[in-house]
Structure 1
């Protein structure tokens, strides 16, 4: 076999591990389509996600900080791109399908509201009488229903494997299902009681790696804590020490970047080494074997996970619950609450494209879910501008 034989037309290495998800064995799409002669099904899924309206709006949705607070902080878009990059690296090292991993990574945050988890918490509380709100379920709703560009179907008509991975990349979904996920599962049976493919598990760990790395970087940039304080943390402290030993007297900004690069590398290497060992120990010889296991196979090692919990506890206290961040959290939660209350009472004030659904809705639950879809799709900027324009 030549090197070219092992490549797809876009020069993407093919999956080669027996437990990988192979495009030729896909369970297909809800609405059958003629396959492309030069793109695999998962490449097409990835491309449809990239061209989706919801993906484009991620550029003005933030992680922790609100968009107007600075130009250098991560947005959901930059975060998703970073997750895709990490995911492709790990998937490639494990012999998995990089295209599927990338598609899931790029889609995993599509369902997020404006203002990060603060907006989601506010919308979930408001939607409690109507089935609640869950960003993972909302991502499924977006790709199966709310994106409307194609003549023959609503949504993006993604493959079963991509939908499964979006729905349960964090593990099996048990108990009462979020209503948006229940509606999709009733049509497609995503086998929610099982683990997802190894590619989906890689996307989940890539998310953890990316946000741990960039939250450290953004917290330092925002001066919520100092380099010296960060250097007291496991993983981070040894990284700073290694940089100081190799580059004594390095300019502070470069010193920080070099240290955080090493933190990033430690996490990626740990996942690759640990996951290789777990997969080998499992004896899995197919993606079905991966799904049938009673545990995830793509994980951090126990020692590193213990250290990461210490890092995350520090970030929770010093960043996510920093006084300056809490002040903004309270403000933007009120923005979401005010917009929801206004549109529940003035539903026809929503843009014209929503009116057909509004007229079709028969109940208070229908109306609330339409309003929730509208607000969840807003960017930070648009929600703040709309709140001001409406005088709320």
Structure 2
């Protein structure tokens, strides 16, 4: 298997090959200096939606401290880990990076609180799903080019964006995973009429690398931010066996390490251990599958970029610990309940009074049915940063936005 996997050298045979890309929805001439996925990455970085990530909540609001992660810094960290995995497995690094950079473009202000609020107010009009909204952003809402809406990304980048967490439907078209027992979001089904992203298969190895990079970044950096906010303690982390093992190794080598260095070392070793585990486990899975091209990865019976069972258990333990002690902490929940109320009230105000919208969005609401009008308002709200949403609330309700 040395010819297929290893550090350095040409891309592996099972990697996505840029010269055989399935192209773009709107045909464009190729670039003499960049591959299709390098162009995709560059378009994403230069998009308005990407810039807005700097003022969108990851876990803590933008004004709670200068050192907490935002959606932008989280996205950059995911992209770095995705590239590291792709490099080790001889995948297309640019494709993995492009998917990682785009994966959170559809998140509304205030993180998952904003998503819950929009999903509730859109319940009768197809709901709201941040992954589907990311697809809307890159295929419709960005308006930078004279010949088309969206960024006109390559098929492989769109496929990876939509399916980075696995197939969306089974062979019969019924939802699976997070969509089991419910219809797919409208943005996904509407785009499927234009271009088949093969929603019943796994995505490329590059997209799978971006997805697991997201998990690694969440685990490590939410621990870091939770410690910084005082919601977690270094001693408390030892409740998680996976983290206790890491901390025992640190203490054996560096007894009485001061807190800032200890926290950094925990995060550093956690990321390293998870990345190295993914590489070794993925190599084992690929050797068993023996794929001859990227489509063999897509049609495999399971993901090939994955944690070992031991580290997967550790990952689940960390996520349960963070959910209990950070995401469900009353300090966070109080802020997020207020944030949900801001988003809900803004939607209701724009619904009753479209004249309160900026001209572009007001025009989008004129002469259309209720579902399209609601979707336009949701698109506008989803594009807001935390800061802009708070300012709009203050403008429209002549009141301060009390977040917690």
TM-score, normalised on structure 1?
0.95
Q: 1:246 and 1:146 mapped to 2: Cα distance?
A: 52
Match of 2:108 in 1: 113
* Other-structure match for 1:153: 148
Deviation at 1:385, TM superposition (A): 1.3
Please say if 1:46 is aligned against 2:41.
yes
Partner residue of 2:204 out of 197, 201, 208: 197
Higher mean C-alpha displacement, 315-324 vs 302-311? 302-311
> 1:15, CA displacement in angstroms?
5.2
Q: Which residue of 2 aligns with 1:3?
A: none
Q: How far apart are 1:242 and its partner, in Å? A: 1.6
Cα deviation per residue 1:331-362 (whole Å; 9 max; x = unaligned)? 11100110000011112321122244223x52
Match of 2:28 among 28, 33, 37: 33
Tell me the SS of whatever aligns to 1:235: helix
The CA RMSD over aligned residues, in Å, is 1.2
Q: Is the 8 A contact 2:137 2:150 kept in 1?
A: yes
User: In structure 1, what is the equivalent of residue 327 of structure 2?
Assistant: 320
Match among 235, 239, 253 for residue 246 of structure 1 = 253
Confirm or deny that 1:374 pairs with 2:374. no
**In structure 1, which of residues 363, 373, 378 is the aligned counterpart of residue 369 of structure 2?**
363
Q: Deviations over 1:113-140 (max 9, x none)?
A: 1001111011111111000001010000
Q: Distance in 2 between matches of 1:229 and 1:150?
A: 51
Taking the aligned partners of 1:130 and 1:336, their CA distance within structure 2 comes to 17
The within-5 A match list for 1:179-328 is 179-328=186-335
Count of residues in Structure 1 that have an aligned counterpart in Structure 2: 379
Alpha-carbon distance between aligned partners in 1 of 2:143 and 2:78, rounded to the nearest angstrom:
26
Following superposition of structure 1 onto structure 2, how do residues 340-355 of structure 1 map, counting pairs within 5 Å?
340-355=347-362
Cα distance change, pair 261–368 in 1 and its aligned pair in 2 (3 A): same
Structure 1 distance, partners of 2:308, 2:271, is: 15
Q: Partners of 1:300 and 1:126 in 2: how far apart?
A: 37
2:50 corresponds to which of 37, 55, 68: 55
Task: Report if aligned partners of 1:101, 1:200 keep a CA contact under 8 Å in 2.
Answer: yes
CA shift digits 1:303-323 (9 cap, x unpaired): 111122111111111000001
Rounded to whole Å, the distance in 2 between the matches of 1:15 and 1:62 is 39
1:96-175 map, 5 Å: 96-174=91-169, 175=175
Q: Does 1:389 align with 2:395?
A: yes
TM-score of the superposition, structure 2-length normalised?
0.92
Cα distance between partner residues in 1 of 2:235 and 2:165:
33
Counterpart for residue 79 of structure 2: 84
What is the CA distance between 1:213 and its match in structure 2?
0.4
2: CA distance between counterparts of 1:222 and 1:191?
42
SS in 2 for 1:188: coil
Cα distance between partner residues in 2 of 1:163 and 1:311: 30
- Do 2:361 and 2:377's aligned partners in 1 also have CA atoms closer than 8 Å? no
CA distance in 2, matches of 1:258, 1:390: 46
